[in-house]
A and B are shown apart, each in its own frame.
Chain A
């Protein structure tokens, strides 16, 4: 996985192999004991050696460079812990404002009146801000050997050691508030992690991109050094890559208007207006509640528009760089060798435009992430057939979207799927396994043979009567692809062929 040179930071002993100990034990060869001594510059001068960091330090004057990556620790010793940007607590407090207002809800506002409502909100937000100041004070991170260590917590102290060998991707995310203040959030994706590890929120933009470069370098997968931008520049620095495609925002808007939600909106509005006209009561609360409910229905298309605004796709070496977002710009780096499946979708209403959507599954991002916006799964939010062709050819070289093989299941499968028999199908292309499904929203799943984890054949009771079986190709993360209702003999042959091709592809993939 990581066959690159360990990045030798000055003053470091070489890391002991396999040392991923997350505790405070100091491995030999790391210089002074790392975690027991408070590094100078963190409040009061260093106390007794046994005092745990940060200890009961009164908030003394923070040196102006405390959140700066400029080295100010003891030369040649352990790298000092860095703090997050001092504006972070203010941002966290502001973020909690939305939560507090949503939690108090419209009905509270109507019951207590506006003045008390404002007081309540102020109290909660103040409390949240105080808590975030405390947590900011106690949070620190540093790179030790080939680990990123993040220390946090006042009562429940936690040190997370993130082995950088298992690093999948580092993402620089900029929510709206962070954009206004020139800050950025750093998210790390680790193989097998249950969720996104250690969001470092917030850092200065320059610092975030510098840390990203450094972490990737330590992980042994150094991309070309990106030009660092000065803080305050609206977008994180994008490395010079080959521009593959940029989605026109106009197309994005039209595509989201061509969704069932958008079509149903006028009906819903008419219903509400009719109700109010007939009742003759326009109470503020009722209107506000109705609007909130409507916003809930429209949330998905609106979120898609916001997320995919000014969507750009760049190729950079063997990684793809996805840049998207209106309020929250994010730059995601997708290593192409981690792509497990590519999904193509033709929604019903988009067919008149001939548009399609491309998604991908990447290993290492857990499926259980509650907010799927954090996973790099977009490849193309909307595009015509030619664009789809181009992007697919970039991700899976040699695959042509319009020339994919596929045969439908035998005619007797109509007893199981009377309508969609002709819509499902499966085929073996040169490098990918192709599975089709969906009558109204047509879907196509492409699984490279080299990414198949296991092959399964299942046969339910009804399928047994009809001598049919389903062949699944499982991939890491995501559902994989399935050839449903194949003839039994066909299914065995398909399973054998998939196994053989997967083995051959793995052999070819393996570094010598």
Chain B
């Protein structure tokens, strides 16, 4: 099936070359980082995780959100999602690959990465994160590929694949729960020490992931003959709406607990992020952009009349995606380190090499996504777009 990715229009190849150029630029900066160390990033003794780990966290959510199309289709036989389950599964694959790359580029001694397997440590949440992420990658490759292969041949998918599909449905929330546990179990980091961290992670994931999927569906429809279908896109819109509401509600709960209890350690990171603390306010504009985007998206999503207009739905989806990308892909991680354990403030901002390396990781994801979607869409176009099962 891979041959489908090797023939394409000029636009297709132009896009591929563009992505390869970004990957090349990022790779050069990575060589610099590899030679000189992580000192070329904006991270410091006080803010020891930055953009890489934040992006990893955000993308685990995108990966997990594939379940939002797989579950209704396989467990509730929701036919409209039949056409796009493969898009959900094939979004999860590059998302997990990006997660792994972001972890890799964040490592001080990347050549020792196998130590995690050579010295397995079950008391470390990172050990489980490795297990669930690689497992999820395997499941999505297996399920996506097998089902698509069957569709290409015009037959129903083999029966043996069903258990793997059900496992992948249960597996998806687990990857994001485990990722939340990386943060939620650390004493002394008040911002992260919250029992609803995993719930918040899942809510924001199930809003941002399907929002991205809506945008991708629209792009696919514009550039190919494959139409994911109005109903499927509208159903995704409903999913985004409910989970965005849940996400904002959960954030509200955090605010209540921090400010009504008025425990300084709990309020400080919120104050730092939203209004600035002791004159330090580097992240304030970003957090407000995130909040405004969240409000705008909710207004657009809450009213079905607005949401039914696909242009408005697209705008709302973009707002949701970027709102949560800022909130989770930046503020949530950096906020956990400010103030530091001495109640002192060190601010963080990514450097050009760091941003370029991050962009290159996204480009790798976009490249893998493009190739997978190209294959899937070519087969869908050939089979008339209907799922063969």
A and B: bona fide binding partners? no
Q: Which residues of B contact A (CB under 8 A)?
A: none
Q: Which residues of A contact B (CB under 8 A)?
A: none
